[in-house]
Structure 1
């Protein structure tokens, strides 16, 4: 082994690769060790570039626009020499915004400009109206000696004092660790797959498939590798704001993060209590290390597509026990039109993340319901796959979980004899118990809020009209199989795969003595095609959703799907499986290769059409500040998000939340918010216990951390505190997990540790038995 490794290290290609890696790490290390670039400019050093506005000094010595005026660039700093990297810009300012029609406040911003093309990213983070000092993040793409900081007045009074610009060296250090980790993983992959490696996998065909899978995953992410790529979809601002909200929660010491304290202009918002986001902790940690929120999102997207390709290949290989069949199916799945539609046209992070784990379900079902004998190893594998699949669906997208449970339940009832056999039934029971225990840390808060009846906005309409609303949102049959520009359809590759299975069924079944493998493949394909047809029907406006909505309890849950087109994610998985069943049947009669080439060719053609139609111009949005006001021309609340998870009673307006009922009965001196803590300064003079209402949306967990009194939910859906009689001073309120939630956290952690210990023990026992032999 050592001699083979020594010989491998002498090959020119290996030497060149190692030199390249060392050079990259060396340059990254040099950038991390050099002194941080830093500049400070005083108010009188700002340069006047206004064309229409009159520039002057305010009473505090700041320079800028001192009277209400229209928007334009007003000031810039002298030129700076800035290397590539991330920069923290600390501003001292005063901003009194004017308003758009309808009363929506404007938002002023600062940004980097340069005479050298391509050296700055173009993000324009807005300053916080509630503060007079703010720290914003800006990025430089390449070294430049002509960078200036420009102040843009969007409308109103905007004056600036000293500004400090400093390079974020934490990110530079993280880059060194990131490159090192990347090269370790790359080298490990090469050692496992390249010819001549002493530890290369024995299956050469498998090695080639892994290379193709990586290439397809990178191709899937190709549009995201451009500036602002993958951020044109309808939901991009919501999901990038989730990443920013999780990162901020981690900074404040929340773990797990339950409430985004800086969301909704400081009122706080808690999608985390209703919407699993376990995998988003990965880009959030990258954000904490200094990476831009867009860079963190793109890294997440690439990592997830690699994971999706791996899971799809693993699942199909387990079913068909054939590398090339699994590879063709993985390519069809990765480049399927609906998969790309969710990534780029909608930026539906939860849904396309769920699609990474959906293929595990048919793989597990094949282990439990296939024709091969049930063994302890197969039962254990099926249980593990079910726990991972349903557990991760719970953590990334509840509606995908709902669809998967519904489809699986129908299948299990149709195969009820096998389902209720001892081995299969107890495997399902074990998988269900483990899934619940591992995810109890999320389920307890989620069920607490859902069963309270205080958060009902996530449902579509009421029991009477919810189903009709869903039906009206369904696709038309022509859209399902059409070529509309947004590609919200099944795509040509899946239709071609369906025809392959149909041809096999019509021709191969006519043989007098069909071979057993052909019969099994066609039977499995027909099961998959049948369920895919049902999923397609449920995605259209011809499905009787209005009748479903009238079903007591269950109907209300099912119509929470909002858009029935989501069922195409199930249809995509099932049609890929059906196509591969047809390909597996053809493999027995010798026609598989040309059909596989045809399917892959159509898949690449469909992806090319999608990428052509998807390309769109988009501004590069910055971190924090600009995300907060990305839709400020419509809504004046930081991170508008949505209204799904608001407490009942909360009245959302363009400029905050209205208190329709009077709650505050004490004299309030000030209310300040910093790092997730709200500080109330007040005085009670009536001699009786009174109340004060805070600018915080109420979620269970808000508590008084300093001072007297208790927190409660007001009739306005906000946080209120009791103020004792004759009290004068400060009361601090922050979010702290209730004890029962902490207990659930502990149960989930303990369950994970027990499973890890059991796996390690089983592995050691297996090695011991092997050595004994």
Structure 2
């Protein structure tokens, strides 16, 4: 500690960095401690800006459009002085929307505007049609004295009363904490890697590689660092809605979050029961602290890319014991065409997050299947990597898990004799048991629902035609090797890396396999990687016999759940990166490694530049909160029309909700209201017999009556039904509560995690005691 304080005192550059950091924290703290900016405007203070609509007051004293009319901006507030920050807008209104062709309702919205460019973010959150009061969230990017709130009538009757705009100071306080955490991490990194630091890592080459690795991660995130960037892929609104759904579920008291009560216009939706979302709790917590949903997503994206770079470098360094080889391989992986395609062109959060953990699997296999005897230390390392690798794949993307398990199973079968040796088999059994126990909190609900047969929409077609559907979605061979505009391919640098490995295999002679020559083991590992990569490439194309796969009993249905066989390129990417690294490692003693590495990196950076050029597009900035469910309102009246994978059987989705094809409700229903995840039914039973009422909730196990008599059940329409006792008049309140057997699984996973951490700590303490010199 004394050396560290001396270093801080003597180094001018260190003092300058600390002063800058303290100034940033001080300004953030000052912003958090100043009074919250707040404005309230009544109906008569709204200013008319309508061009073709007649502005008048309705019978409740609200001002706006009182007759059906076409859409335009109709009202604005006087200018406001708003500092940079996060704002809640509480609004009193009446809205009767007109409809597009086909009966799709229009959606009116509010947004900030400013005379100064770049001071507002551009989000336009829609108001809730079913309410007369709503709270929206808007953001200001920079201090401005000319901010106005504008009301846009998309079409219909739209009148507004009192509106209150208030700065969210929780977010301001969270920014202070965020800067502190960021600077602590940055300072720790600098102290470990900067020359002259008393705690610098002993390996100077490793320090340099870490700097370059961070630069590559930042380059990978370059589009996301622009305003509104990385938010225009095919699935971005769905994944932003997942973040908002988890945050809303936590706010309602669910943990873990199983059902998004805000989704599908209040019907609720449960991707969390079918789709691992563990890492999305990080951006969801940022949302709870006031960060915009898009800001939370960008933070998550940056964190995942740093994690991807670190895991790839760690895994490759473990295999090759060479910093530079691991660095080149990590850079190829981060900037690979398919990786960038998943991040930006598709915004496939699950898949690009899974790619952060894929390199752990070959690293673990390298330890287990090396010809050297398996020591306890290497077995523990391999076990830990398998648990983390497969466990996180389970938690972020099940289809990536399926592909990885399939490839690993084939590898183990091809090394059957080694697999069934006692130390290797025990390692596999330990890893499998720990993975199941640690993830039982997710596995039990998932398997319960999948085996129930009540949720079959996630499969592609029937067993007869599912394989043909997948085959039709496969890539053409020309697309696989090309450099087409959407960049859904491998990229030439990875193919070149594979050819480098093959060249080494064909040309380097056995006499080069001496201690001072080429390591033939690297070539063997690379050949395995190239072989499996070739298989993965074939499976991604429309030449693979997916029809035959689909006809295999049970297994076939699981295989065709892949939907888009191009997903196998994620496996091909990590394997071809491994092959390229093997080739570079084999060339280290020949003098060709450096020019080949420069060539591969040059092509990789050039390909990334082309991708960023082609990917740039106009982005739409969605509003936060429940308004995300209206992100596709011009096609459907309910959100996420494009995702029906996790609907209960019997649910018939229409553009206006869910159709009740089988009559269920037999009581007199006075009202059904929804708020904060609770559905309140007011009804009267007058026949003297138990009757039923159907609620606007998609059924998932766990819906429970928390107030009033009766029980919840699944109706033939896939919705939640409630039994109403004879002669009962009053209210019945229903909400989601996790079933007790699932709570037991939560406890098992928690106890397992605590046990693993205690064992790790005990082994570390035991190791430290062994390292201490004996007394006397």
TM-score where L is the length of structure 2: 0.99
> How many Å apart are 1:588 and its aligned residue?
2.1
Question: 3-state DSSP class of the match of 2:620?
Answer: coil
In structure 2, the residue matched to 1:461 is 461
The CA distance in 2 between the partners of 1:705 and 1:384, in whole Å, is 42
Residue 357 of structure 1: SS of its match in structure 2? coil
Shift of 1:8: 3.8
Describe the shift of the 1:112–1:512 C-alpha distance in structure 2 as closer, same or farther (beyond 3 A): closer
Match of 1:142?
A: 142
**Structure 1 residues 512 and 26: alpha-carbon distance in aligned structure 2, compared to 1, 3 A threshold:** closer
Q: CA deviation at 1:509?
A: 3.4
Task: Tell whether 2:369 aligns with 1:380.
Answer: no
1:85-124 to 2 correspondences below 5 Å: 85-124=85-124
Shift of 1:772: 4.0
What is the aligned partner in structure 1 of residue 407 from structure 2?
407
Within 5 Å, which residues of 2 pair with 1:695-734? Answer: 695-734=696-735
Matched, 1:508 2:496: no
CA distance in 2, matches of 1:49, 1:10: 62
1:641 CA displacement: 5.5
Shift of 1:498: 1.3
In structure 1, the gaps of 5 or more residues are none
The residue number in structure 2 matching 1:270 is 270
Residues 490-526 of structure 1 deviation map (CA, whole Å, 9 limit, x = unaligned)? 0021012112112211210375766675311111110
Kept in 2, the 8 Å contact 1:96–1:156? The answer is yes
Shift of 1:621: 1.6
Query: Partners of 2:648 and 2:606 in 1: how far apart?
Result: 47
Paired position in structure 2 for 1:615: 616
Q: Which residue of 1 aligns with 2:472?
A: 472
- Counterpart of 1:630 in structure 2 is 631
| 1: CA distance, partners of 2:642 / 2:624 | 16
| Mapped partners of 1:383, 1:499: distance in 2 | 32
Match of 2:39 in 1: 39
Determine if the alignment matches structure 1 residue 391 to structure 2 residue 415.
no
Offset from partner CA, 1:380-411 (integer Å, 9 cap, x none): 00000000000000000000000000000000
Indicate the SS of the match to 1:356: coil
For 1:690 and 1:43, how far apart are their aligned partners in 2? 46
CA distance in 2, matches of 1:512, 1:251: 64
* 1:158, distance to aligned residue in structure 2 (A): 0.2
Cross-structure match for 1:692 = 693
What CA distance in whole angstroms lies between the structure 1 residues aligned with 2:561 and 2:364?
Answer: 27
Residue in structure 2 matched with residue 569 of structure 1 by the alignment = 570
Find the counterpart in structure 2 of residue 326 from structure 1.
326
CA distance in 2 between partners of 1:114 and 1:556 (Å) = 54
1:343 paired with 2:338, answer: no
For the Cα contact (< 8 Å) 2:250–2:257, is it kept in 1?
Answer: yes
Q: Does the C-alpha gap of structure 1 residues 425 and 737 become closer, same or farther in structure 2, counting only changes over 3 Å?
A: same
CA distance in 2, matches of 1:30, 1:549: 62
2:676 corresponds to = 675
Matches of 1:7 and 1:483, distance apart in 2: 51
Bigger shift: 641-650 or 540-549? 641-650
Instruction: Summarize the alignment of residues 589-604 of structure 1 with structure 2, pairs less than 5 Å apart.
Output: 589-604=590-605
Could you say what secondary structure the match of 2:519 adopts? helix
> Secondary structure at the residue paired with 2:553?
coil
Task: Write the distance in 2 (CA, Å) between the matches of 1:9 and 1:237.
Answer: 49
Separation in 2 of the partners of 1:115 and 1:426?
68
**What CA distance in whole angstroms lies between the structure 2 residues aligned with 1:756 and 1:640?**
43
How far residue 374 of structure 1 moved from its aligned partner, in angstroms, is: 1.1
SS of alignment partner, residue 248 of structure 2: helix
Of 498-507 and 402-411, deviating more is 498-507
The 1-side partners of 2:80 and 2:668 are apart by 49
Question: Whole-Å Cα distance in 2 between the matches of residues 749 and 128 of structure 1?
Answer: 39
Instruction: Please name the residue that 1:190 is paired with.
Output: 190
User: What aligned pairs does 1:101-250 form with structure 2 within 5 A after superposition?
Assistant: 101-250=101-250
Q: Structure 1's 265 and 4: CA in aligned 2 closer, same or farther, altered over 3 A?
A: closer
Shift of 1:619: 1.8
Residue pair 2:513, 2:520 contacting (<8 A) in 1 also = no
Summarize the Cα distance change of 1:513–1:597 in structure 2 as closer, same or farther, 3 Å threshold: closer
Give the conservation status (yes or no) of the 8 Å contact 2:7–2:198: no
Aligned equivalent of 1:554:
555
Q: Tell me which residue corresponds to 2:432.
A: 432
Deviation at 1:133, TM superposition (A): 0.2
Cα deviation for residue 349 of structure 1 reads: 0.2
Aligned equivalents of 2:173, 2:243: Cα separation in 1: 21
**Superposed CA offset, 1:208-229 (max 9, x none):** 1111111111110000111221
Change (3 A) 1:4 1:41: closer
Q: Deviations over 1:512-550 (max 9, x none)?
A: 766675311111110000000000000000000000000
Is the contact between residue 48 and residue 55 of structure 2 (CA under 8 Å) also seen in structure 1?
Answer: yes
8 A contact 2:696–2:720 mirrored in 1: yes
1:279: which partner in 2? 279
Q: Deviations over 1:303-338 (max 9, x none)?
A: 000000000000000000000000000000000000
Distance 1:373 1:213 in 2: 33
Residues 141 and 201 of structure 1: CA distance in aligned 2, closer, same or farther (over 3 Å): same
Deviation track 1:193-219 (CA, whole Å, cap 9, x = no partner) reads 101111110000001111111111111
CA distance in 2, matches of 1:15, 1:745: 48
Aligned partner of residue 100 in structure 2, secondary structure: coil
Residue 356 of structure 2: SS of its match in structure 1?
A: helix
Alpha-carbon contact 2:75-2:150 (below 8 Å) kept? yes
Alpha-carbon deviation of 1:670?
Answer: 0.5
Tell me the CA shift for residue 279 of structure 1.
0.1
Q: For residues 549-604 of structure 1, what are the alpha-carbon distances to aligned partners after superposition, in whole Å with 9 as ceiling and x for unaligned? A: 00000000000000000000000000000011110110122211111111111111
Partner of 1:252: 252
Distance in 1 between the 2:642 and 2:634 partners? 14
- Contact 2:62–2:159 under 8 Å retained in 1: yes
User: How well do the aligned residues superpose, as a CA RMSD in angstroms?
Assistant: 1.0
Q: SS in structure 2 opposite 1:700?
A: coil
Structure 2 partner of 1:482: 482
Aligned length, in residue pairs = 773
Aligned residue for 1:525?
526
Counterpart Cα distance in 1 of 2:206 and 2:264 = 50
Contact 1:266 1:638 in 2 (8 A): no
Residue 14 in structure 1 maps to residue 14 in structure 2: yes
Alignment of 1:491-506 (within 5 A): 491-506=491-506
Q: Is the 8 A contact 1:227 1:620 kept in 2?
A: no
Gaps of 5+ in 2: none
**Distance in 1 between residues matched to 2:62 and 2:226, nearest whole Å:** 39
Answer yes or no: is the 8 Å Cα contact 1:336–1:490 preserved in 2: yes
The equivalent residue for 1:759 is 760
Quick one: distance in 2 between partners of 1:504 and 1:133? 70
The CA deviation string for residues 167-190 of structure 1, in whole angstroms up to 9 with x for no partner, is 000000000000000000100111
Q: Which residue of 2 aligns with 1:584?
A: 585
Match in the other structure for 1:74: 74
Q: Distance in 1 between matches of 2:372 and 2:586?
A: 17
**Contact conserved, 2:90 with 2:134, CA < 8 A, in 1?**
yes
Match of 1:648 in 2: 649
Q: Indicate conservation of the 8 Å contact 2:262/2:626, yes or no.
A: no
Contact 1:238 1:641 in 2 (8 A): no
